Chain A
Amino acid sequence: QVQLQESGPGLMKPSQTLSLTCTVSGGSIIRGGYYWTWIRQHPGKGLEWIGYIYYSGSTYYNPSLKGRIIMSVDTSNNQFSLNLSSVTAADTAVYYCARVRDMIRAFDFWSPGTMVTVSS
């Protein structure tokens, strides 16, 4: 059974860079047929897809985040990461990492989620 667990700071100040890491267990991140992705959920709101990375390093970022995103993958540690720069209060959200099954582009395994608060 694949499991994902994110790690990162819970509290940040405006203008800082948010760095989150997702550790995958129960399956290899380099197994073909899957993308690795980030989704966030603002308090009391719906889901916003941030983007994905493939184990090869190819990426797609949601244009709504206006060039503030960098994703990376660490195949030796079975991890992938999200960097979100110049955070503001609008980036306060629960952040999830998830696996995407390529053929159906569905998020089939999710992390529990981590709350990130941006406040001065």
Chain B
Amino acid sequence: DIQMTQSPSSLSTSVGDRVTITCQASQDIRNYLNWYQQKPGKAPKLLIYDASNLETGVPSRFSGSGSATDFTLTISSLQAEDIATYYCQQYDDLPWTFGQGTKVEIK
């Protein structure tokens, strides 16, 4: 299975800050990577697909980049409603696998 490793596991930051989360794949996955946001007690929500494409309705402060093994999710200016856990997911090979998650909290 392809292993997906996210860093950091958690971060504490302030409203308005720029937030960067990284996701590393154990092998080349081209750009076959999606990002999700999960708020407490809720189902995950698709944010970014194919590494850099914003899902319809997702605020433009979210962006994704990367290819091959290294990927980044960026929130340009953190809002209070962005407090959540973020997951990456690869679909280059079966079984599809997720990163372990990055929890974003407000200081």
A106 close to B44 (CB less than 8 A):
no
Q: Which residues of B contact A107 (CB under 8 A)?
A: 34, 36, 44, 46, 89
Contact flag A46-B98 (CB < 8 Å), given A107-B36, A110-B44, A113-B43: yes
Q: Which residues of A contact B105 (CB under 8 A)?
A: none
Interface majority SS (helix, strand, loop, mixed), chain A: strand
Q: Residues 82-107 of chain B: 1 if any A CB is under 8 Å from the residue's CB, otherwise 0?
A: 00000101010011111111000000
Q: Which residues of B contact A48 (CB under 8 A)?
A: 98
Q: What is the minimal beta-carbon distance from B12 to any residue of chain A, in angstroms?
A: 18
For this complex, into which size category does the number of interface residues on chain A fall? 20 to 34
Total chain B interface residues with beta-carbon distance under 8 A: 24
A111 close to B91 (CB less than 8 A):
no
Residues of chain B having any CB pair with chain A under 8 Å: 1, 32, 34, 36, 42-46, 49-50, 53, 55, 87, 89, 91, 94-101
27 pairs of residues in contact across A and B, judged by CB atoms under 8 Å: A47-B44, A47-B98, A49-B89, A49-B96, A49-B97, A49-B98, A60-B94, A60-B95, A62-B95, A64-B1, A64-B95, A96-B43, A101-B49, A104-B49, A105-B96, A106-B34, A106-B46, A106-B49, A106-B55, A106-B89, A107-B34, A107-B36, A107-B44, A108-B46, A108-B55, A110-B45, A113-B42
